[in-house]
């Protein structure tokens, strides 16, 4: 990438004008362009006014304030654009533009700098927040040389987009460091073997009847020979939680690709935490990150950009746990069915289950599903027992109620393990005021609604529920 091009203000103005047109529906006028160019050169309003033939008052009072407000919406990404912050933000905008431009030219088998790119990267049209997550992950890869990054979180929370943005930024900052950058989206009904074979094929290796172990080791060799950034998006689609044999395959795969010293990195996104399906030694350079919703400012900004306003926006982002894809759907529904009035939407007291979360919950509650019978019962218990008055249930109450409810002698250790797993999957929320206080549990409203409404009849299926006692150990 030609860095002179990035820092050419005329070119940047063109890029900016295009974005203003797309998002604000108008183009920049000459006075605004003058203020932007002058600010780029760190000039005071006085100097800009004399350079471009305007009055200082006009630029400072009438052009500046609405311009900054508009630019904050268009390019601020949660940050307020001001005269002094403008230059840095514009550089970022320009860099993103060039990376997207190059990435759009490079779908399959193409080059960015010296890097060969394979697979279809998701298109990122709007991106809010996540600076902290991305910077943390970049550091883990670039400085701490981690060989595997596992990003987990509920459906729609933004795992795929964070992975895409991370790769985009890494490519932008070190465009010639990697030999290969590969995006592999896992299809449903695929298998580890299939994914490994597809990855090996990229390196033009001949394989015949090698077993999975051998294939993994061939792939690992390639990761040592070339510097690769491999993204495996949607690893959870490979996971069958009850199958022990498969569990070993996940382990072989993750350990096989990370234990040998190499300069490559595997980025995995998954709804199911990988710690749950593979026992991985803490010595291996693997990082697990659980992605939560967007930060408050970005979530609010997202709603504002979709035309919603008012104090109630804060309630919306809390109810939907700042999940960007849920917020998108809810904003869309409020606009379409409630004339954009957040208040009117609240008057009807409804909770919208966004399709991605529904798909995720179907996979949890379906058969075969990802929940054990005990985990399912706990989820149902929490949904039925929490209310507006009792938002969360203390752990000991949960144990006692479960015992009573099912006249079971429950194994406390099994309940503890189940709660940990449910919390790691972001299905329940553990609330701890301090590390010594008893934990209490609640459900995100969307999940509670799914359980109680049971849209596909997967939750209250009789035959899969606990009928007999579990042994107390
Ligand atoms: N940081 C973000 N900024 C803007 N929109 C986002 C962001 N993260 C997610 N989204 C929206 O939510 C949708 C789902 O995100 P995605 O990354 O596919 O979620 P996941 O992989 O966790 O299921 C995206 O298509 C996008 O519309
Ligand atoms: Mg995804």
For the stretch 76-125, pLDDT in tens is 877 789 998 899 899 888 877 777 666 555 454 556 667 888 888 888 87
Q: Answer whether residue 471 is part of any domain.
A: no
Query: Closest by alpha carbon to 411, among 368, 458, 466?
Result: 466
Calculate helix-pair angle for 9-24, 86-105, nearest 10 degrees.
80
- Ligand with minimal distance to 156 CA: 1
Domain end position, chosen among 95, 119, 144: 95
Give me the pLDDT at residue 405, please.
81
Q: Answer whether residue 396 is part of any domain.
A: yes
- Tokens representing 57 are 């008052």
Cα of 220 to ligand 1 centre, how many Å? 31
For ligand 1, say whether the CB of 271 is within 6 Å of any of its atoms.
no
Mean pLDDT calculated for residue range 355-364: 91
Mean pLDDT calculated for residue range 328-336: 93
Give me the pLDDT at residue 243, please.
65
Place of tokens 């949904």: 383
Q: Which of 324, 327, 332 to mutate to test the pocket of ligand 1 (most atoms within 8 A of CB)?
A: 324
Contact 39, 45 (CB under 8 A): no
For ligand 1, say whether the CB of 130 is within 6 Å of any of its atoms.
yes
**Rounded to the nearest 5°, which phi and psi values hold at 270?**
-160, 140
404 and 362 housed in the same domain: yes
Give me the pLDDT at residue 462, please.
55
Give me the pLDDT at residue 61, please.
95
- Ligand with minimal distance to 159 CA: 1
Give me the pLDDT at residue 11, please.
87
Give me the pLDDT at residue 408, please.
62
CA angle, 355 as apex, 349 and 360 as ends, to 5°? 110
Query: Closest by alpha carbon to 331, among 298, 302, 295, 357?
Result: 302
Q: Answer whether residue 470 is part of any domain.
A: no
Which is higher by pLDDT, 8 or 108?
8
- State how far the Cα of 347 lies from the Cα of 332, in Å rounded to an integer: 17
Could you tell me the pLDDT band of residue 473, with boundaries at 50, 70 and 90? very low
CATH number of the domain encompassing residue 404: 1.10.10.10
- Ligand with minimal distance to 166 CA: 1
pLDDT above 90 covers what percent of the chain?
A: 55
- State how far the Cα of 316 lies from the Cα of 346, in Å rounded to an integer: 9
Contact 141, 287 (CB under 8 A): no
380 and 429 housed in the same domain: yes
Contacts of 53 (CB under 8 A, 6+ apart): none
Say whether the peptide bond before residue 10 is cis (omega within 30 degrees of 0): no
Q: Answer whether residue 380 is part of any domain.
A: yes
247 and 168 housed in the same domain: yes
Cα of 466 to ligand 2 centre, how many Å? 32
Give me the pLDDT at residue 210, please.
82
Domain end position, chosen among 255, 290, 325: 290
Mean pLDDT calculated for residue range 161-174: 88
Give me the pLDDT at residue 289, please.
94
67 and 143 housed in the same domain: no
Instruction: Give the CA distances from residue 322 to residues 102, 341, 444, in Å, rounded to whole numbers and listed in that order.
Output: 31, 19, 11
88 and 127 housed in the same domain: no
Could you tell me the pLDDT band of residue 470, with boundaries at 50, 70 and 90? very low
Among protein residues, the one whose CA lies closest to atom 9 of ligand 1? 158
Mean pLDDT calculated for residue range 162-166: 94
For the stretch 397-429, pLDDT in tens is 999 998 888 766 778 888 999 999 999 999 999
65 and 172 housed in the same domain: no
Q: Quick one: which atom of ligand 1 is closest to the CA of 162?
A: 17
> Residues in the chain, how many?
473
Mean pLDDT calculated for residue range 229-243: 85
Contact 447, 403 (CB under 8 A): no
CATH number of the domain encompassing residue 174: 3.40.50.300
Continuous H helices in 3-157? 3-6, 9-24, 30-40, 45-52, 56-57, 64-75, 86-105, 131-142
**Rounded to the nearest 5°, which phi and psi values hold at 229?**
-120, 105
Instruction: Give the CA distances from residue 382 to residues 63, 438, 457, in Å, rounded to whole numbers and listed in that order.
Output: 55, 17, 18
Cα of 270 to ligand 2 centre, how many Å? 7
Kindly report which listed range (31-40, 61-70, 192-201, 207-216) carries the lowest average pLDDT score: 207-216
**pTM for this one?**
0.77
For the stretch 256-272, pLDDT in tens is 999 988 999 999 999 98
Cα of 269 to ligand 2 centre, how many Å? 7
Query: Closest by alpha carbon to 153, among 249, 233, 251?
Result: 233
- State how far the Cα of 87 lies from the Cα of 81, in Å rounded to an integer: 9
Q: Other C-beta atoms within 10 Å of 301: how many?
A: 21
Query: What is the average pLDDT value for the chain, to the nearest integer?
Result: 87
Give me the pLDDT at residue 416, please.
93
Give me the pLDDT at residue 282, please.
78
* Number of domains forming the structure of the chain: 4
User: With DSSP H G I counted as helix, E B as strand and the rest as coil, what are the percentages for the chain, rounded to 5?
Assistant: 55, 10, 35
159 and 186 housed in the same domain: yes
Q: Answer whether residue 53 is part of any domain.
A: yes
- For the sheet containing 393-394, what is the strand order? 393-394, 440-442, 429-431
Range of the domain at 159: 107-290
* Strand partners for 233: 185, 269
428 and 399 housed in the same domain: yes
266 and 149 housed in the same domain: yes
Contact 119, 184 (CB under 8 A): yes
286 and 138 housed in the same domain: yes
Per-residue pLDDT at 469 exceeds 60: no
Domain end position, chosen among 352, 369, 398: 352
Which is higher by pLDDT, 431 or 176?
431
Kindly report which listed range (23-32, 242-251, 445-454) carries the lowest average pLDDT score: 242-251
DSSP 407: T
Mean pLDDT calculated for residue range 279-305: 90
- State how far the Cα of 239 lies from the Cα of 274, in Å rounded to an integer: 10
Q: Other C-beta atoms within 10 Å of 153: how many?
A: 21
Give me the pLDDT at residue 186, please.
93
- For the sheet containing 180-185, what is the strand order? 110-112, 115-118, 180-185, 228-233, 265-270, 148-152, 286-290
374 and 347 housed in the same domain: no
Contact 115, 334 (CB under 8 A): no
Mean pLDDT calculated for residue range 374-401: 91
DSSP 350: -
Give me the pLDDT at residue 108, please.
47
Q: Answer whether residue 473 is part of any domain.
A: no
Give me the pLDDT at residue 407, please.
66
Give me the pLDDT at residue 300, please.
94
Cα of 42 to ligand 2 centre, how many Å? 41
Q: Answer whether residue 102 is part of any domain.
A: no
Q: Other C-beta atoms within 10 Å of 455: how many?
A: 12
For ligand 1, say whether the CB of 293 is within 6 Å of any of its atoms.
no
Instruction: Give the CA distances from residue 45 to residues 36, 84, 88, 90, 320, in Å, rounded to whole numbers and listed in that order.
Output: 11, 12, 19, 19, 43
425 and 449 housed in the same domain: yes
Mean pLDDT calculated for residue range 138-150: 94
């Amino acid at each position: 990438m030609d860095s002179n091009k990035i820092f050419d203000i005329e070119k940047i103005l063109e890029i900016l004008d295009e974005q203003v047109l797309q998002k604000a529906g108008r183009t920049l006028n000459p006075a605004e362009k003058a203020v932007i160019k002058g600010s780029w050169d760190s000039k005071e309003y006085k100097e800009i006014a004399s350079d471009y033939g305007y009055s200082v008052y006009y630029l400072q009072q009438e052009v500046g304030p609405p311009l900054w407000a508009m630019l904050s919406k268009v390019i601020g990404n949660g940050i307020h654009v001001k005269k002094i912050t403008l230059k840095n933000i514009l550089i970022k905008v320009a860099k993103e533009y060039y990376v997207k431009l190059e990435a759009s030219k490079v779908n399959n088998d193409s080059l960015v700098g010296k890097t060969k790119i394979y697979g279809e990267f998701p298109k990122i049209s709007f991106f809010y927040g996540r600076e902290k997550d991305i910077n943390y992950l970049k550091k883990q890869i670039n400085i701490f040389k981690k060989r595997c990054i596992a990003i987990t979180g509920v459906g729609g929370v933004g795992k795929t987009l964070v992975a895409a943005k991370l790769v985009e930024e890494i490519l932008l900052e070190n465009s010639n460091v990697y030999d290969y950058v590969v995006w592999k989206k896992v299809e449903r009904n695929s298998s580890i073997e299939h994914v490994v074979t597809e990855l090996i094929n990229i390196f033009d290796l001949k394989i015949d009847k090698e077993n999975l172990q051998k294939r993994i080791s061939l792939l690992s060799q390639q990761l040592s020979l070339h510097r690769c950034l491999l993204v495996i998006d949607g690893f959870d689609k490979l996971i069958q939680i009850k199958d022990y044999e498969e569990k070993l395959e996940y382990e072989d795969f993750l350990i096989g690709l990370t234990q040998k010293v190499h300069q490559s990195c595997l980025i995995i996104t998954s709804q199911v935490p990988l710690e749950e399906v593979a026992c991985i030694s803490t010595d291996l350079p693997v990082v697990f990150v659980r992605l939560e919703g967007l930060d408050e400012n970005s979530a609010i900004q997202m709603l504002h950009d979709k035309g919603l306003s008012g104090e109630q926006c804060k309630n919306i982002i809390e109810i939907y746990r700042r999940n960007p894809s849920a917020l998108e759907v809810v904003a869309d529904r409020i606009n379409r069915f409630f004339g954009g009035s957040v208040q009117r939407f609240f008057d009807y007291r409804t909770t919208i289950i966004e399709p991605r979360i529904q798909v995720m919950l179907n996979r949890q509650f379906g058969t075969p599903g990802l929940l054990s019978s005990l985990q399912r019962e706990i989820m149902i218990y929490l949904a039925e027992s929490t209310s507006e008055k009792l938002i969360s249930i203390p752990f000991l109450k949960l144990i006692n109620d479960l015992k009573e409810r099912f006249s079971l002698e429950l194994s406390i250790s099994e309940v503890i393990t189940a709660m940990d797993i449910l919390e790691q999957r972001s299905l329940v929320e553990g609330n701890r005021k301090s590390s010594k206080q008893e934990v209490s549990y609640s459900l995100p409203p969307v999940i509670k609604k799914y359980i109680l409404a049971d849209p596909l009849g997967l939750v209250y299926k009789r035959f899969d529920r606990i009928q007999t006692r579990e042994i107390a150990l």
